[in-house]
Amino acid sequence: MTDVVFFVAVGWMTLLFSAGVVLVIRRDSAVDRIQALDVLSLILVALLVLFADSQESSYYLDVALIVSLLSFVAIIAAARYFGRGRIF
């Protein structure tokens, strides 16, 4: 990947991430915020994958895998708690 594309992609993805953070803060319903957090975790995984490509290091991908694992569990727990009042 050329350097120009990498910098443009990282900058643009940071903008998307900021939009997601604004969504998490400004939405009025809790389930909307949970869903915005889901979007945030996906954008974070994409950023980490971009860095793994540019640094040619696989450690960033380990971090991306763990972030996606943890955010999945967190989203499921938060959504079930919001819907039923208990997780299990």
Partner 1 sequence: MELAIAIIQDALVILGLVIMTIGVYGVIRFPDIYTRVHAASKAVFLGVISILLATVLSGGADVVLRAILIGVFLLLTTPVAAHTIAQAAYQRGEPMKTPGAIDESESGLPEKSDEPRD
> Looking at this protein, which amino acid is placed at residue 61?
L
**Of residues 20, 33, 27, 18, the one with CA closest to residue 82:** 33
**Beta carbons of 37 and 24 less than 8 angstroms apart:** yes
Exposed/middle/buried for residue 69 (C-beta within 10 Å: 0-12, 13-18, 19+): exposed
Rounded least distance, CB 25 to partner 1, Å: 13
Total residue length of the chain = 88
CA distance 39 to 20: 7
* Residues numbered 20-49 forming contacts with partner 1, rule: CB under 8 A: 20, 23, 29, 31-32, 34-36, 38-39, 42-43, 45-46, 49
Binding partner 1 by CB under 8 A: which of 7, 14, 69, 70? 69
Taking the least distance from each CB to partner 1, the nearer of 1 and 25 is 1
List residues binding partner 1 (CB under 8 A). Answer: 1-2, 5-6, 9, 12-13, 16, 19-20, 23, 29, 31-32, 34-36, 38-39, 42-43, 45-46, 49-50, 52-53, 56, 58, 61-62, 64-65, 68-69, 72, 75-76, 79-85
